[in-house]
Each structure stands twice: as structure tokens, then as C-alpha cells.
């Protein structure tokens, strides 16, 4: 079958085609920007029967270097109805072509092919997911989503037990300061910076210490599950050769 008008498949498995390419094939005299809204008035709905496709295209005008090019991706049923509305030789030819496309699309061979394509797509999605989750496999994905925040000293012990990185609490604190995760000096020294708290890498645990001159608040920096995952990968990359 000759492809009179190129067709494609959307994410839902529907056959679609370009409104502009249909307009061109039908040899409609009315400009596309005026013609397509008239076709929509026959009862078609955006995001159900068609979607808007807008692109920016370069021009030769320095004052207006880009212009917006509007097209529509329409479903096959809408294209068939539009072809009938035209009441022309080209319209009849287009409708017959669309019927052949639909017949071929619903043939047993194409149904099997679509099922295989869908299965392949799911396999690729699974492979992508496995790749994205690789950092979790060495340490346990559950840690990253838990609220099991631990102290820097406990984290130093953990990375030694897991990967033999003997850095110790004090050196780890220094490493975190040097890398910009913790505040280097002042009253808030060793507290995590606000942006890393907002990213979910650290928490601060306040403790009230009673003294003769009055109560004083002391903060303890804790590494969250998400932070443990990220920092462990960085430490492995730096200390394990």
C-alpha cells in the first residue's frame, strides 16, 4: 500500500497524522490557520481527537528571527471524517486510504507486532529503571527512603564496615566541610548547609544542655538515608582505587 499521507502511533497506541499534511493532500484552497478551526467546529475536541503541535522556526528577518509554526496531530477517526466533509476526489481518495490503514492496523500480524513492540518498550523501561537505581543496589534502596538518620560518627563506622574506608569521624567531618556540605566556622560550625538539608541529605537534631548560666541548645548533624547513599558513592569514588 502506497503511503499517501504519513501516519504514526502515539503513546496510547492510536494512529495519528499531521493536520497540515492532510490539508496539503486534500489541496484545500483555504489557509490552514483558517481551515483547521472550521474542521474542529464539526464536533472534534482538543486533547481527545487532536493535539496542538507548536514549533519555532527561523526566519530571515533580524527583527523577528523566529516565527511560531502551528500544526495538529489528529487521530485517524478524525481524519476520516474530515476527508468525507471535503466532498472532493482528493477527500474520497484520502478516506479510502485511511480505511486501508485501519484495516492493516487491525490485522492479526499488526496486533502481534504491537504486542511485541509494547513488550520491548517495557523491557527498555525496566533496564532504564535498573540503571537509575544502581547506586541503591550496593547499600539497600530501603535506606534511601527511610527516616533512619545517623550521626556522622555512626556513618564513618558504617562505611568502614561496608567498604573498608577507614576515615573516622573527625576526618569525615573535615571532608564534609572541605566539600562544602558543612559550615566551616562560626557558631554554626559543623552544621549542614541549608540547601543540603532541603535536598534531604542531612538533618539537625537539637539538644538542650542545662548549665548553671542557663540552658544552651546544641545541634547534632545527622546523615539521612538519602544522604548516606549519595555520600557513600562519593567516598567510594575518592577513597577506593
- Among the residue ranges 67-71, 119-123, 185-189, the one predicted with the least confidence is 119-123
**Distances from the Cα of 210 to the Cα of 33, 176, 205, 220, angstroms:** 76, 29, 16, 16
**98 and 165 together in one domain:** no
Give the residue with greater pLDDT, 148 vs 64: 64
How many C-beta neighbours within 10 Å does residue 72 have?
24
- Order of strands across the sheet with 8-9? 8-9, 15-18, 66-75, 50-58
Q: Please indicate, yes or no, if residue 133 is contained in any of the structural domains.
A: no
Please, what is the average pLDDT of the chain?
Answer: 84
Report yes or no on whether pTM surpasses 0.75: no
**103 and 173 together in one domain:** no
**148 and 105 together in one domain:** no
**23 and 101 together in one domain:** yes
pLDDT band of residue 105 (cuts 50, 70, 90) is confident
Q: Please indicate, yes or no, if residue 119 is contained in any of the structural domains.
A: no
For 180-207, the pLDDT digits (tens) are: 999 998 888 899 999 999 999 998 888 7
Which residue among 110, 126, 157 closes a domain? 110
pLDDT band of residue 216 (cuts 50, 70, 90) is low
Which residue among 89, 110, 131 closes a domain? 110
Whether the pLDDT of residue 141 is over 80: the answer is no
Q: Please indicate, yes or no, if residue 62 is contained in any of the structural domains.
A: yes
pLDDT at 118: 72
pLDDT band of residue 89 (cuts 50, 70, 90) is very high
CA 228 to CA 143: how far, in whole Å? Answer: 8
pLDDT band of residue 108 (cuts 50, 70, 90) is confident
Give the residue with greater pLDDT, 60 vs 201: 201
* Domains of the chain: total: 2
Q: Which residues of 169-200 are buried (b: 16+ CB within 10 A; e: fewer)?
A: eeebbebbeeeebbbeeeeeebbbbeebbeee
Expressed as residue numbers, the domain containing 35 is: 8-110
pLDDT at 119: 74
| Residues 122-136, mean pLDDT to the nearest whole number | 67
**13 and 82 together in one domain:** yes
- Cα–Cα nearest to 75, from 41, 96, 48: 48
pLDDT at 238: 85
Q: Please indicate, yes or no, if residue 43 is contained in any of the structural domains.
A: yes
Give the residue with greater pLDDT, 213 vs 200: 200
Whether the pLDDT of residue 136 is over 70: the answer is no
Q: Please indicate, yes or no, if residue 157 is contained in any of the structural domains.
A: yes
Whether the pLDDT of residue 145 is over 50: the answer is no
Whether the pLDDT of residue 214 is over 70: the answer is no
Amino acid at each position: 500500500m502506497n503511503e499517501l499521507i504519513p501516519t504514526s502511533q502515539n503513546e496510547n497506541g492510536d494512529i495519528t497524522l499531521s493536520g497540515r499534511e492532510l490539508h496539503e493532500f486534500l489541496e484545500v484552497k483555504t489557509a490552514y490557520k483558517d481551515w483547521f478551526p472550521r474542521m474542529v467546529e464539526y464536533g472534534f475536541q482538543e486533547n481527545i481527537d487532536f493535539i496542538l503541535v507548536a514549533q519555532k522556526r527561523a526566519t530571515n528577518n533580524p527583527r523577528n528571527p523566529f516565527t511560531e509554526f502551528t500544526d495538529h496531530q489528529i487521530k485517524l477517526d478524525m481524519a476520516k471524517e474530515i476527508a468525507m466533509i471535503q466532498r472532493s476526489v482528493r477527500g474520497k481518495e484520502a478516506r479510502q486510504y485511511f480505511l486501508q490503514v485501519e484495516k492493516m492496523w487491525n490485522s492479526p500480524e499488526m496486533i502481534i507486532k504491537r504486542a511485541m513492540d509494547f513488550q520491548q518498550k517495557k523491557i527498555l523501561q525496566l533496564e532504564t529503571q535498573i540503571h537509575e537505581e544502581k547506586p541503591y543496589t550496593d547499600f539497600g534502596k530501603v535506606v534511601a527512603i527511610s527516616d533512619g538518620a545517623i550521626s556522622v560518627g555512626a556513618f564513618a563506622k558504617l562505611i568502614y564496615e561496608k567498604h573498608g574506608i577507614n576515615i573516622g569521624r573527625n576526618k569525615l567531618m573535615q571532608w564534609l566541610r572541605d566539600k562544602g556540605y558543612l559550615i566551616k566556622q562560626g557558631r554554626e560550625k559543623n552544621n549542614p548547609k541549608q540547601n543540603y538539608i532541603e535536598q534531604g541529605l542531612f538533618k539537625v537534631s537539637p539538644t538542650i544542655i542545662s548549665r548553671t548560666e542557663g540552658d544552651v541548645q546544641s545541634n547534632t548533624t545527622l546523615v539521612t538515608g538519602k544522604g548516606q547513599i549519595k555520600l557513600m558513592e562519593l567516598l567510594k569514588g575518592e577513597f577506593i582505587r
